[in-house]
Amino acid sequence: MSTPLAITGLGIIAAPGRGLDINRAALGSASRHLACYADPRLPLAAELPVGRVTSVLPTPTPRTAALAHCAISDALTDAALTDRSACALLLGTCTGGMPESEAAYLAQPEQVHAAFAQQEAHRVTARLAQQLGCHGPRSTHSVACASAACALAEAAEWIRQGLCPSAVVVGADALCRLTMAGFHSLKVVDPAGCRPLTEERSGMTLGEGAAALVIEHPEHARARGARIRASLLGWGLRSDAYHATAPDPDGSQLQQAIAAALTDAELSAQDVAYACAHGTGTRDNDHCETAALAASFGTLPCASSKGSYGHCMGAAAAVEAVGSCLAIEAGTAWASAGASEGTPLTCVDVVTTPRPLAGDVICSTSLAFGGVNAALLFGGAERCA
């Protein structure tokens, strides 16, 4: 029998701000935090809105690492986890130290700069583990938009198999030129700001941020008297190998990932009360994702938070995991930011105003470049009893 794992700490920093209260308020109001701004390091941000973090960050740490440090610190404090000698640390990221290496290259294109050595994603993981005293096993996932989902799945297996009693999982990504220019060149960026799960959607909006979850074996959490906020019930991963950047239109592999997560959690589709969709706002993603959700669950209440946060890339699944836990705690199905301004898709029940959550199980889905499909199931704290 699969063991529901205790989620004892949460931390988040993103476009709405830093901390659970400000992000809970943003999710509860479905407020939009996407805007253009002038920054010579990100020329496209002057004409394309982004979800930008304006909170004060630690310096001189690279920006992705600084975002992750904020989220992890808050999550560890929330969990009151002081003994981290065996705590694992897992990171999901796409950009790593790229913002700093870009700046160094543009300033001196003929030089080999020290920042280049810090670009690799695993350098961020090592830095964070050292700074925060997490001396258990470490792992780094860079699997495009499913990076944090894969990190959460691996953490679950490490804890279940007894490799560590606890783990802190963080997804973190900072905005950089490469990702902005890359998505702009694919012509999948909405110049008005993304409108996920609507007929009028015409592209995505990039964002940045970090979110972290402290996950423990329930026996470990109870032994130290920890408060359990929510539970991680199951996970599923599938790869469709359909295209380097486009999702498989029929969504069959995402359906299989959802089915695998349900099997892992020993739940049925009827147990799921709400879907926290990847919901990027592109024509292809939202079409295939809602088709997969409808095939898996019927007209399940569904929403995307990317109209508030932007697409935080490697951090997206962690941002949505924290949002799912907050929804379960509040007993509320968050509304899909921006959906009330358009025509919601009809194959799923797009939530346009917050409503009571009819149950305590949420399915969070991710679709990534390279054909990666992920599904995570979160439940209430009492499932760890």
Instruction: Please write the tens of the pLDDT for every residue from 24-83.
Output: 999 999 999 999 999 998 999 999 999 999 999 998 789 999 999 999 999 999 999 999
Catalytic site positions: 145, 278, 311
**pLDDT for res 114:** 82
Q: What is the share, in percent, of the chain residues with pLDDT greater than 90?
A: 86
Residue 206 above 70 pLDDT? yes
Cβ atoms 121, 91 nearer than 8 A? yes
- Residue 18: both structure tokens together: 């830093």
Provide the residue type at 186 as one letter. Answer: L
**361 phi and psi, to 5 degrees?**
-120, 130
- State the distance between the two ends of the chain, measured CA to CA, in whole angstroms: 15
pLDDT at 1: 55
Q: Indicate if the pLDDT at residue 148 is higher than 80.
A: yes
30 neighbors 335 (Cβ within 8 angstroms)? yes
Q: What is the pLDDT of residues 343-382, one digit of tens each?
A: 999 999 999 999 999 999 999 999 998 889 999 999 999 9
Q: Name the residue type at position 209.
A: G
- Between the alpha carbon of residue 32 and those of residues 205, 207, 216, the distances in Å are 11, 12, 33
Q: Go through the domains of the chain in sequence order and give each one's CATH number.
A: 5-384 (3.40.47.10)
Tens of pLDDT, residues 242-259: 888 888 888 999 999 999
Residues 6+ apart with CB under 8 A from 18: 12, 55, 70, 74
Q: Which tokens go with 363?
A: 């399915």
Pairs from 17-23 (Cβ < 8 Å, separation ≥ 24)? 17/54, 17/55, 18/55, 18/70, 18/74, 19/74, 20/74, 20/78, 20/322, 20/326, 23/322, 23/323, 23/326
Going through the chain in order, the beta strands assigned E by DSSP cover 5-14, 17-18, 88-92, 138-141, 166-173, 209-216, 230-239, 274-276, 301-303, 332-333, 349-350, 355-356, 362-368, 372-380
- Give CA angle at 238 (183, 265), nearest 5°: 120
Mean pLDDT of the chain: 95
